[in-house]
Amino acid sequence: MTVHPSTTIRRYYIGLLFLCLGPTGACVEEESVSMAEFGIDSGQCTVTQGCPTNAHIGNDHVGSLHLGGLRNDRGFALEVGASVFDLVGGELLRDGSPIAISDVFQVSYLDDGGRLTYYNIHVLDKGRRMSYTHPEALLWWYRFGFQELGIRRDPIDVCEALDGDTANHAAYLLRGETYSENEVLIDTTGAAAVDHFQIACELGGLAKMLRFKQDPSELDPMWLSTPAQRQSTLFMIIAGFCGDAVSFTHLGTPIGAIKRDETVSFLPVGVEIEALWTTGVSRALCLQTPRRLEATTDPKDILDDVYSQCGPIPTCDDAYPGIDYMDPTTWPPEIEWASFSVPPGP
């Protein structure tokens, strides 16, 4: 089936902007919102090899931190001392005041051998960045650097960059949900998730989810989402066609996407339908033309890889004949997202 433009779709073409936002008034370069940065690995290995997809200190992935200072299952704890930490609207507070640029707080790490190491976390920068949904929907971001106590060296970024792009050092703070399996599967059993926050790096799947305004702590009725909706968003972002944490994409692979409620619609020229996605922990409903990992990638090679790990998945033309992939009003109720493959450049 050939996709074609639909006048019912709202498109946000957000180019290169320079925003002077945040308490410092510092200018922040805002990247093009073209979906071209989608993917969740570090550029060195794939998610299936256990790459840290979000905050890490050294070779250890931080995971979720407890606001009250309890140690998590990866050995990390926020050192609260006599302070009271909170996270409100994506902004980290200490004793009721926002954490500011040049502020420092501490985390500790208890390794398997019982060795306890303390790290200073420096707030190197802070600001607000546009979401993927609307230019006026802004999110707080931080640039954190860690420095082991007693080691005289400059802070090292908690979030990795790509090709020297410092905008990718940004982290968003997410509260109210914990995650497993490379920060892809939502843990619905964590009763105390409201007391935890996650450092979601710009290049990670969780950051993309937040920039879609799918935040478990969101209070604005316009942007409320369910755990099942957030799970489908994560699978769509990472090309999790099997319905698990196995990813079939890598950093920098361009895609297009439309959400059922049309709050998100990115449709670069010449896109082809990639997959349709339902809510919750589920495989892709169908798979047609997978996103190109390289300009020379043969989609058939990717399909063969997917089928070998996921089993057969029907094509979208066979599973949903007659629907307009670009018009959610024609979709049956089980479809939450449509993702699109972008043709390779020259």
| Token digits of residue 216 | 């478990």
Q: What is the pLDDT of residue 88?
A: 94
User: Is the sign of the CA dihedral 286, 34, 204, 343 positive or negative?
Assistant: positive
Per-residue model confidence as pLDDT tens digits over 98-147: 999 999 999 999 999 999 999 999 999 999 999 988 888 899 999 999 99
Q: What is the pLDDT of residue 2?
A: 33
CA nearest to 281, candidates 336, 233, 236, 244: 244
| Token digits of residue 52 | 């840290």
- What length is written for the chain? 346
Q: Strands 116-130 and 156-157, how do they pair?
A: unpaired
CA nearest to 156, candidates 106, 202, 120, 204: 120
Q: What is the identity of the amino acid at 345?
A: G
In degrees, rounded to 5, the angle at the alpha carbon of residue 84 between the alpha carbons of residues 226 and 216 is 5
Q: What is the pLDDT of residue 45?
A: 35
Q: CA-to-CA distance for 174 and 210, rounded, in angstroms?
A: 8
If phi over 0 gives left and psi between -120 and 50 gives alpha, with beta otherwise, what is residue 37?
alpha
For the chain, 346 residues long, the average pLDDT of each consecutive 10-residue run is 33 26 27 36 35 72 92 95 96 98 97 96 96 88 95 90 81 90 77 83 90 90 91 93 89 86 84 95 95 76 92 97 95 96 75
Residue 119, φ and ψ in degrees, nearest 5: -130, 135
3-state helix vs strand vs coil in the chain, percent to 5: 15, 30, 55
If phi over 0 gives left and psi between -120 and 50 gives alpha, with beta otherwise, what is residue 333?
alpha
Q: What is the pLDDT of residue 53?
A: 58
pTM passes above 0.85: no
Query: What H or E segment, with its residue span, contains residue 236?
Result: helix 227-238
DSSP for residue 235:
H
Count CA atoms within 13 Å of residue 25 on its CB side: 0
| Token digits of residue 82 | 């006599």
Q: What is the pLDDT of residue 1?
A: 38
Q: CA-to-CA distance for 232 and 175, rounded, in angstroms?
A: 19
Contacts of 152 (CB under 8 A, 6+ apart): none
Q: What 3-state DSSP class applies to 344?
A: coil
Q: CA-to-CA distance for 248 and 257, rounded, in angstroms?
A: 16
Q: What is the pLDDT of residue 14?
A: 27
Q: What 3-state DSSP class applies to 272?
A: strand
Per-residue model confidence as pLDDT tens digits over 285-324: 999 999 877 766 788 888 999 999 999 999 999 999 999 9
Site of tokens 């799947």? 205
